[in-house]
Amino acid sequence: MDNRFQKTRNDFPILNQKVNDESLVYLDNAATSQKPNQVIDELVRFYRNDNANVHRSVHTLGERATEEYETARQKVQKFINAKDTREVIFTKGTTDSLNLVASTYGAENITASDEIVISIMEHHSNLIPWQQLAIKKGATLKYIGLTADGQLDMEDAQSKITDKTKIVAIAHVSNVLGVTNDIKKIAQIAHSHNAVIVVDGAQAVPHMKVDVQDLKVDFYAFSGHKMLGPMGIGVLYGKTALLNKMSPYQYGGEMIDFVEKDFSTWTELPWKFEAGTQNVAGAIGLGRAIDYLTTIGMDNIAKYETELVSYLLPRLLRIDSIEVYGPHDVGIHNGVVSFNIKGLHPHDVATALDMDGVAVRAGHHCAQPLMKYLGVVATVRASFYFYNSKADADKLLQAIAETKEFFNV
């Protein structure tokens, strides 16, 4: 393994085990990342020492918990370069964040004469909320297509985004095709038509430096569990001016200012959108994950993952009966590699690879319209992170060869 990351791999206890009598090779990072000891220990420390509800109690534990929770928000703000901590809302994850925008900003601003533009590569989390909003409002939902090699068709984007468009919702990085979309350019197109842009950043924030101000996005969503953090915690970034105009997503404790028998008023950002008891430990764990990633350096992570894919992809493409989806150019392919072995169902392939200790994903990857667009039911997906190595890529290639031999394809 690359010496830059050998030490970090030792921080992940789950990787040091055998599966089916084989050393585990974990290549399902697009679904969820593994957690380092530093994050696990932080969760244990909080529950052992500081467990209390935030923003409510004046006792010492409550004040400590509140300080740690808000410190985590500051870490997120700095990590994505938001202008203000008020633009950082803690949610359950990317799905929750995107539903928040669709249920508030979308519901309050979309009419039957409007259009919503998304891409055919979207994860269901960034497709169904807009689909259902369009159905309820009688609005038009339009899909941007792909180029022949699986990249977003920017000419089609220029054509589909018009003066009727009110919302453009796009993934920063595809969870299937291994492509990074030009969010800054799409934002420019959207804004030229007075539309807002909503970005699914679940597959981007863990793997590259993201600057929401530089990208000029209006909303940006991501999840903690894909970036070394706990499950059940995520972030919605939104511009202050837009968030201030939006109604609360949920009602209850913590998000109020005054409550009377016949009416209520809401507290200020970001707490207006954080009703009830929040995932305090999750936020603190996410903050610790950000510390860990920051120490490594997001540019270093992105460069290393490019090296891994540059090593794997040409070797994978040389295997007979393998079909790889998305660009074959290693210069534009990120750490998600989806493929099929002709004649074999993806689930059979994934089961066979698991017998060799190689954990990959098989299925439609919550992107059924994309699968139909590609003309397949499902694919096998290997997704890499910085704690993976060229040896892991070799083990995947070896397991594929053994699978082909076993099934005689």
Rounded CA gap, 231 and 226, in Å? 8
Using CB atoms within 10 Å of the CB of residue 330, give its burial: 0 to 12 exposed, 13 to 18 middle, 19+ buried.
Answer: middle
Helices within 46-92 (DSSP H only): 60-80
Spatial strand order of the sheet with 165-171 comes to: 88-91, 234-238, 219-223, 196-200, 165-171, 115-119, 140-144
Q: Tell me the Cα Rg of the chain.
A: 22
Residue 258 CA to its chain's centroid (Å): 36
Closest CA relative to residue 334, chosen from 386, 370, 291, 286: 386
Q: How many CB atoms lie within 10 A of CB 163?
A: 10
Structural tokens at position 287: 């903050």
Which secondary structure element, helix H or strand E, spans residue 41, and what is its range? helix 37-45
**AA letter at 286:** L
The pair phi, psi for residue 324, each rounded to 5°, is -105, 135
Cβ 284 vs Cβ 73: under 8 Å: no
Structural tokens at position 82: 């938001």
Residues in a beta bridge with 115: 140, 165
Q: Exactly one of 231, 366, 376, 397 is catalytic; which is it? A: 366
Structural tokens at position 155: 């000419």
Rounded CA gap, 1 and 392, in Å? 9
Instruction: Tell me, yes or no, if 366 is annotated catalytic.
Output: yes
Which secondary structure element, helix H or strand E, spans residue 219, and what is its range? strand 219-223
Rounded CA gap, 269 and 82, in Å? 14
Rounded CA gap, 152 and 122, in Å? 11
Cβ 233 vs Cβ 80: under 8 Å: no
Cβ 324 vs Cβ 314: under 8 Å: no
- Active-site positions read 366
